[in-house]
Structure 1
């Protein structure tokens, strides 16, 4: 039996017509997740008016890091609706590392601008749920990056025998980090700055948007894990 052929549990339960409908719906969802991540980043950048204050750089950099870099770094591995579906897996891994490195740099810079803004205005740090969960998200992101380093350099770190488990931990932790980031972004919409900037029905649209790419990412990671488990069992 060949093990290099991808297994699709959908094909066993659905007919050909239903399978193609599922495939097109999945492709549409992935494309919409790409558009949502990019759209949120651009709109928040416009609303923040970067350069008008130290704080103005914080939402710009954080949305770029988590709404765009992290989303694209995960979705580039999907075969449906991704603009990177035609490149090799080796190139995808390199792009993934580039996105994650950019994520770490921009999120750390965004944190620095927030700390500087709080110090200048003499406000207290870590007094909101958004800030507390944000620190947890940044910590989890750093730990996730450390696991990723172990995955890509197993021989150098003498972890070759643990590679399958490390890959599983890397994917699972990545899902946790993304969900933490999603909740952190949603909590930011309850801040005084955001509620003073966006109101009414528009606010509710912003509130719901981050959940859509999170569902697509969650489906991709869990499907990839179940697929690997099915093939290797």
Structure 2
């Protein structure tokens, strides 16, 4: 890492360990995620158990719980990983992301199977199209993660900094696509659980998206800005 990049991440992005503001952001994020999973779990099984019941639940767990936690694991200032060495934080990120992908693909397979069983068209609604896009981006992000892991070995093709920045950008885009898909699901014909739970869920997932994306987005911005500025000198 260049001197410019190091100064930027230290002075503009990474607060001292134990920063109370960051700890509160993490706590709010985690509480909102648990509250949302509680709401969606009730909605999934309020009218009985079916194959479809596990689709919104698995997709929500994948994106809202494990993918957000995976992103936070490699975000400076995360209270759960601040004390960890970078290799351990990276390993935690990989494990959580693998679990997120497992839940996401399981949820995707369930809805495809459910459509086939009920002889319905696939990916017709906006919710379905965004869902397909989020699954595709999840797979792209996973492949990009392999590239980021071996970025030093790929340095002759692309500088490690850019490899990691591209992976981070696609990962954040994937999370946003997943959350937009979840929001669209709340406004689909399936949702018949009242306006209170609908807008409570909307409020919670928007908070989760903002709090999860805020610091990584700043990290990408400052590192890209400093990298380009360094190259132009």
Tell whether the structures are fold-level matches, with TM greater than 0.5: yes
| Counterpart in the other structure of 1:14 | none
Q: Distance in 2 between matches of 1:90 and 1:42?
A: 33
Q: Which stretch of structure 1 is more off in the superposition, 91-100 or 49-58?
A: 49-58
Distance in 1 of aligned mates of 2:179 and 2:24: 21
Q: Aligned equivalents of 2:12 and 2:130: distance in 1?
A: 36
- 3-state secondary structure, aligned to 1:65: helix
SS in 1 for 2:83: coil
CA-atom RMSD in angstroms: 2.7
Q: Which runs of 5+ in 2 are unaligned?
A: none
For residues 167-203 of structure 1, give each alpha carbon's deviation from its aligned partner in whole angstroms, at most 9, with x where no partner exists: 0101111111111111111101012222x1x213232
Once the two structures are TM-superposed, the CA of residue 84 in structure 1 deviates from its matched residue by: 2.4
- Is contact 1:8-1:227 (8 Å) kept? no
- 8 Å Cα contact 2:44-2:57 kept in structure 1: yes
Partner residue in 1 for 2:110: 113
Check conservation: 1:7, 1:227, Cα contact below 8 A: no
1:183 aligns with 2:168: no
Q: Which of residues 161, 165, 168 is equivalent to 2:162?
A: 165
Shift of residue 70, structure 1, vs aligned partner: 0.5
> Residues 42 and 3 (structure 1 numbering): CA distance in 2 closer, same or farther, change over 3 Å?
same
Q: Deviations over 1:134-192 (max 9, x none)?
A: 0011111111111111111246xx51332221101011111111111111111010122
Q: 1:131 to 1:88 in 2, by over 3 A?
A: same
3-state DSSP of counterpart to 2:104: helix
Contact 2:5 2:223 in 1 (8 A): no
Change (3 A) 1:25 1:154: closer
Which residue number in structure 2 is paired with residue 8 of structure 1? 11
2:205 corresponds to which residue?
210
Out of 175, 194, 197, the residue aligned to residue 199 of structure 1 is 194
Partner of 1:70: 67
Instruction: Tell me how far apart the structure 2 counterparts of residues 134 and 79 of structure 1 sit (CA, whole Å).
Output: 29
Structure 1 stretch 42-51 or stretch 112-121: which is displaced more?
Answer: 42-51
Q: Could you tell me how far 1:216 is from its partner in structure 2?
A: 1.4
TM-score normalised by structure 1 residue count? 0.83
Q: Per chain length, whose mean CA-contact separation is higher, i.e. which structure has more relative contact order (CA < 8 Å, sep 6+)?
A: 2
* Normalised TM-score (structure 2): 0.83
Q: Quick one: which of 39, 46, 62 aligns to 1:43? A: 39
TM-superposed CA distance for 1:37, in Å, is: 1.8
Partner in structure 2 of residue 126 of structure 1: 123
Three-state SS of the structure 1 residue aligned to 2:10 is coil
Q: Distance in 1 between matches of 2:180 and 2:4?
A: 41
3-state secondary structure, aligned to 2:49: coil
